[in-house]
Amino acid sequence: MKYRNPYIRLFVYMLMITAIACLGIALYGLQNRMPAGYTIDEWHVGGITYMEFEQQLTEHTQLVRQQPIRLVSTLPDLKLPAFTATMEQLGLRVSVEDALVPLAQLRTGSPWTRAVSRWQLRERHQALRYEFDPAVLHGALLLQLSTLYGQQPSPAQRVVGPTDEISYIPDRPVNRVDETALLQQLQKEIRPLGTRDRISSQSEESVEPIDIPLSFVTQKPDLTLSVLQAQGVDRKISEFSTPLMQTSEGRLHNVRSTASTIHDLLMKPGDTFDYATYIAQTEARFGFQEAPVIVNGKLVPGIGGGICQVSSTLYNAVLRAGLTIVERRHHSLPVSYVPLGQDATFAAGHINFQFRNSTDKYLLIRTSVDDRQMTVKLFGQIPIDTTYAIESHTIRTLQPEIRYVANPTLSPGKKQLISEGKPGYVVDTIRYKKQADRIISQERISLDTYAAQPTIIAVYPTTPSGQPDPKLQPAKPYEVPLVEDGIKGPVYR
């Protein structure tokens, strides 16, 4: 049919052209081949079918993953055998998804969107990502070089000899593969897609391995000889011992356990020793046993008796090393194992013993306990010609008072001695600093008051006239128990 009207004829022609163009775009978008000029790494995939692309992508990436690598030691003294592993076994990961994303754009959506994607991807160059997993590489080295990695670095050791001399056992480093350098080498040896022929007809053994020489690094322990020596624990700077007299098994256990908790404790310059911390550690590790404790100024059965012999022995060693006392208090009763004024008590939550390492070097605490005595030795660094002396003087004696208590079973006018009183003391303690045996300074360490223990006498509660005996004091108010030299008390059977 011929259209005489030129406008109608033009309109028909335009419809035909549009239809042909749309058909061409649809056919262009619905192709099952990769876009022209598309490359992945060095592999030209333009024009091949999607099926061929997916099949060959697997083959090409397999080539990269299965590339054999022979790792050879460069240190003849190590006598490590060379071993061969594939790139994949050494941790190579190939981002195949980067190559598949464009394929998804070409196979989904309307013909128009597919055509647009195909046009945008023509002459496109896509680079895959090749990454190594350091953990996988490390695992492969552990497996293949078990002899090398089985050797562990040995830390340096400080040894205190039988005569308290300090010596050292040097640290022993070990060799390790420089895994960072090896990762860089492996990255350089990756052969991207398209740089080798297909091996669909070749056996895996026919692929020539790539030789990579192993380089090594020295792995040192955290504690090296230089680190130990820099701590400055050069010699014994003080020592103090206290006797263990008529000590029960429970008390001996408590002393030994607490002493072992602080044995070989190393303090940095400026560190503060907190006795409460180590009492808690001792209780958790060993537990405390039954032994007499002091409760509100009286010796009674309890748990943990003896812990203050450890703090008092340590306190005396600390005094004689010239260290700074942060917190210390004397017992409410005199103790027999140290002079008056030179004891350090402990009551959980109330009384603590603390001192500071006021030297500019590390401080090492060592303890020992035998059947006769407990000893604390401090090692560190103070001037070789400097020593400290401690002197305690009783400047006043406090006489015990007499206290009367009621006992209705006594006859009127009769008295019964319940306990003999003991005097108290006011004690002044001085520390002298000496150089070459000459006193150059002194400081008061403490002024301690040990309360006198009263004489207790029981009497009949009333006089012959029936009146209350005036010697009887009113009942004392209840005192919350304060347990010293232990953690719990009293214990009665």
Residues 167 and 237 in one domain: no
For helices 275-285 and 307-320, angle between their N-to-C axes, nearest 10 degrees:
140
Residues 205 and 236 in one domain: no
Is residue 2 in some structural domain?
no
Instruction: Give dist(CA 89, CA 430) in Å, integer.
Output: 73
Final residue belonging to a domain, choices 219, 240, 267: 219
Residues 236 and 209 in one domain: no
User: Which position has the token pair 């007809």?
Assistant: 201
Instruction: Identify residue 38 by its one-letter amino acid code.
Output: Y
Cβ-Cβ contacts under 8 Å for 347 (sequence gap 6 or more): 482, 483, 484
Residues 194 and 103 in one domain: yes
349 closest CA partner among 487, 161, 153: 487
Half-sphere exposure of 308 (CA within 13 A, CB side): 31
Is residue 490 in some structural domain?
no
Is residue 258 in some structural domain?
yes
Cβ-Cβ contacts under 8 Å for 242 (sequence gap 6 or more): 309, 312, 313, 316, 337, 338, 373, 374
Instruction: Identify residue 472 by its one-letter amino acid code.
Output: L
DSSP one-letter code for 204 = G
Q: Where are the alpha helices (DSSP H) in 263-306?
A: 275-285
pLDDT band at 455; cut points 50, 70, 90 = confident
Final residue belonging to a domain, choices 184, 219, 254: 219
310 closest CA partner among 264, 261, 271: 261
Cβ-Cβ contacts under 8 Å for 331 (sequence gap 6 or more): 294, 308, 343, 345, 450, 484, 485
Residues 236 and 286 in one domain: yes
Q: Which residue has the higher pLDDT, 340 or 75?
A: 340
Chain segment 183-214, per-residue pLDDT in tens? 999 999 888 887 765 444 444 457 789 999 99
Copy the structure tokens of residue 18.
């549009």
- Give the mean model confidence (pLDDT) for residues 92-114: 77
**Domain tally, the chain:** 2
Instruction: Give dist(CA 166, CA 2) in Å, integer.
Output: 118
Q: Which residue has the higher pLDDT, 243 or 41?
A: 243
Half-sphere exposure of 140 (CA within 13 A, CB side): 22
Q: Which residue has the higher pLDDT, 64 or 14?
A: 64
Is residue 492 in some structural domain?
no
Residues 97 and 125 in one domain: yes
274 closest CA partner among 230, 210, 328: 328
Instruction: Identify residue 233 by its one-letter amino acid code.
Output: V
Final residue belonging to a domain, choices 187, 219, 251: 219
pLDDT band at 472; cut points 50, 70, 90 = low
Instruction: Give dist(CA 375, CA 371) in Å, integer.
Output: 12
Instruction: Identify residue 32 by its one-letter amino acid code.
Output: N
Specify the pairing of strand 92-94 against strand 386-398. unpaired
Instruction: Give dist(CA 364, CA 228) in Å, integer.
Output: 12
User: Which position has the token pair 């015990």?
Assistant: 400
Instruction: Give dist(CA 426, CA 315) in Å, integer.
Output: 19
pTM listed for this prediction:
0.74
- Cα dihedral value 37, 39, 45, 51, nearest 10: -120
Instruction: Look at residue 425 and tell me whether its pLDDT is greater than 60.
Output: yes
255 closest CA partner among 279, 273, 276: 279
Residues 202 and 239 in one domain: no
Instruction: Look at residue 129 and tell me whether its pLDDT is greater than 50.
Output: yes
Is residue 296 in some structural domain?
yes
Instruction: Give dist(CA 81, CA 72) in Å, integer.
Output: 7
Q: Which residue has the higher pLDDT, 486 or 390?
A: 390
Is residue 13 in some structural domain?
no
For helices 307-320 and 249-262, angle between their N-to-C axes, nearest 10 degrees:
40
Residues 419 and 454 in one domain: yes
Residues 248 and 211 in one domain: no
Cβ-Cβ contacts under 8 Å for 94 (sequence gap 6 or more): 61, 64, 65, 128, 129, 130
What residue numbers bound the domain in which 372 lies?
231-484
Rg, the chain, Cα only: 44
Residues 257 and 338 in one domain: yes
Instruction: Specify the pLDDT at position 479.
Output: 58
Residues 132 and 237 in one domain: no
In what side-by-side order are the strands of the sheet with 386-398? 386-398, 424-435, 438-450
- Give the mean model confidence (pLDDT) for residues 307-330: 97
Instruction: Specify the pLDDT at position 200.
Output: 42
Q: Which residue has the higher pLDDT, 408 or 31?
A: 408
Residues 454 and 357 in one domain: yes
Distances in Å between the Cα of 32 and the Cα atoms of 29, 53, 241, 287, 366 are 9, 10, 94, 80, 82
Q: Which residue has the higher pLDDT, 303 or 270?
A: 270
Query: Is the four-CA dihedral 170, 171, 176, 180 of positive or negative sign?
Result: negative
Q: Do you find a cis peptide bond into 111, omega within 30 degrees of 0?
A: no
375 closest CA partner among 167, 203, 236: 236
Is residue 89 in some structural domain?
yes
User: Which position has the token pair 């060959």?
Assistant: 56
Is residue 382 in some structural domain?
yes
Three-state DSSP state, 33: strand
Copy the structure tokens of residue 478.
């209840």
Quote the mean pLDDT of the chain: 86
